[in-house]
Amino acid sequence: MTSLNNKIYGDSVSSANLERECQKELSNLGYKAILRPEGVLGPDRKELPSLDMDLEGTPIDIRSVVADSPNYRNQIKAKSGQLRRFLSVEPESGADSVCLYFHAPEMFSAERVKIGISEFLKTPQAEGTPLKRVICVVRGADRIYEYGV
């Protein structure tokens, strides 16, 4: 992480820590959220594409937002690509969503998420995207925020 992010999050915060924190926030809100194993190898001994968590029984990938942004198009675009790769090996999984996790609540803005989705849909990567929903988890919030794609 950049030095700015170290000031905000501290040296001990990793993406794995933030994924666990997101899982805890979801569990505290009453959702069944289970982290999935990472680094699973296929028969060819290459790592298979994976998603971070099962949310209510459906695989979903988490993107921890660690830098403020005018919109979250790039985060949504990256996770849409990961979702597409995952579905190439588990097409029947039902996965169709990504999760943006906001450890720093002040970085969350519903308007910027909506703009990010709109901007993502203008990119070539949005063509035929399996992404149907962006779920936002904000640390300390009393609910999740869901947006259609």
The predicted-structure confidence for 79-110, as pLDDT tens digits, reads as follows 999 999 999 999 999 999 999 999 999 999 99
Mean pLDDT of the chain: 90
Angle formed by the axes of helices 73-89 and 110-120, to 10°? 60
Residue 34 neighbours by CB under 8 Å, 6+ apart: 23, 53, 54
35-68, pLDDT tens digit by residue?
998 888 888 888 888 999 999 999 999 999 998 8
Which residue type does 3 have?
S
Tell how strand 145-148 and strand 133-138 pair up.
antiparallel
pTM: 0.88
